[in-house]
């Protein structure tokens, strides 16, 4: 996926920290921050959400993409960074809080999702809290088209169109395509396309897998009608 590899350094113009202010404000009460707490984020991407959590937690931020971690380090220099896949990562220590944001959408099979939630549980202290924020579950998915992008202080600019749809309602995935227009000083304008396959599971599947890996979970709903899973070790 180009957005997380060749185009990783464009991430601040596609999804900057300023886009996450409201979401972070709703997330913090679920995380119940207290003094000297540690937080592990699995699949932290460019760090735009984590930036809002810096004042409240000692952060360990992970991602499978080295390019995204480079962007993340520039935004969150005080954090610890680890490159790794959320399905297999093992740090041999536990945290007060564990967070999975929209990177969990790249778990496209039940096996993937079970592996990611197992990783989360293994890294969670017995009295800790795990929060998982998928973009959607099967019941809330809607095919849609959205657009956005930003101008950078370095003269670069990005605009994108995102188109999502579910070509096969019987399987556990949907598709997202990004059409991107990139502008750099002194360079010809470039257009690129990026295709993503993402996981789509019924709410009951989520709840079953949480239980299978030993997590007690409740569902909160945010302003955008997303299911937010808040879990503790069983």
- pLDDT tens, residue by residue, 193-224: 999 999 999 999 999 999 999 999 999 999 98
Residues of the chain within CATH 3.40.50.150 domain(s) are 2-137+202-233
Which of helix, strand or coil describes residue 10?
helix
For residue 34 the two structure tokens come to 């207290």
- pLDDT, mean over the chain: 97
Query: Residue 34 pLDDT more than 90?
Result: yes
Q: Specify the DSSP class assigned to residue 151.
A: B
For residue 130 the two structure tokens come to 């795990």
Whether 117 and 181 have beta carbons less than 8 Å apart is answered as no
Starting at the edge strand found earlier in the chain, the sheet holding 173-183 runs: 144-148, 157-165, 173-183, 190-199
Residues 6+ positions from 70 with CB-CB distance below 8 Å: 8, 9
Whether 39 and 98 have beta carbons less than 8 Å apart is answered as yes
Per-residue pLDDT of 69-100, as tens digits, reads: 999 999 999 999 999 999 999 999 999 999 99
Q: Domain spanning 138-199: which CATH class is it, in words?
A: mainly beta
Per-residue pLDDT of 136-157, as tens digits, reads: 999 999 999 999 999 999 999 9
Residues of the chain within CATH 2.20.130 domain(s) are 138-199
Paired with 210 in beta bridges are none
Paired with 42 in beta bridges are 100
Whether 186 and 209 have beta carbons less than 8 Å apart is answered as no
What's residue 225's pLDDT? 86
Q: What sign does the CA torsion over 60, 64, 70, 74 have?
A: negative
What is the rounded CA–CA span in Å between residue 233 and residue 214?
6
Percent of the chain with pLDDT over 70: 100
Q: At what angle do helices 203-212 and 110-122 cross, to 10 degrees?
A: 50
Whether 19 and 46 have beta carbons less than 8 Å apart is answered as no
Whether 50 and 97 have beta carbons less than 8 Å apart is answered as no
Query: Residue 163 pLDDT more than 90?
Result: yes
Whether 41 and 99 have beta carbons less than 8 Å apart is answered as yes
Domain 2-137+202-233 architecture: 3-Layer(aba) Sandwich (3.40)
């Amino acid at each position: 996926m180009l957005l997380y590899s060749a185009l990783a350094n464009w991430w601040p113009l596609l999804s900057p920290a300023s886009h996450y202010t409201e979401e972070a404000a709703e997330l913090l009460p679920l995380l119940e921050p207290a003094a000297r707490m540690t937080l592990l984020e699995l699949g932290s991407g460019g760090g735009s959400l984590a930036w809002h959590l810096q004042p409240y937690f000692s952060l360990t931020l992970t991602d499978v993409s080295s390019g995204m971690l480079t962007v993340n380090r520039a935004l969150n220099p005080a954090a610890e960074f680890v490159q790794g896949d959320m399905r297999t990562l093992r740090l041999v220590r536990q945290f007060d809080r564990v967070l999975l944001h929209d990177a969990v959408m790249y778990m496209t099979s039940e096996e993937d999702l079970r592996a990611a939630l197992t990783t989360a549980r293994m890294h969670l202290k017995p009295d800790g809290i795990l929060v998982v924020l998928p973009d959607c579950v099967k019941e809330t998915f809607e095919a849609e088209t959205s657009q956005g992008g930003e101008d950078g202080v370095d003269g670069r600019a990005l605009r994108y169109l995102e188109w999502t749809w579910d070509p096969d309602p019987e399987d556990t995935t949907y598709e997202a395509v990004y059409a991107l227009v990139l502008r750099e000083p002194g360079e010809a304008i470039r257009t690129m396309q990026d295709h993503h396959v993402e996981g789509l599971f019924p709410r009951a599947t989520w709840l079953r897998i949480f239980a299978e890996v030993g997590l007690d979970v409740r569902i909160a709903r945010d302003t955008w009608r997303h299911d937010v899973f808040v879990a503790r070790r069983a």
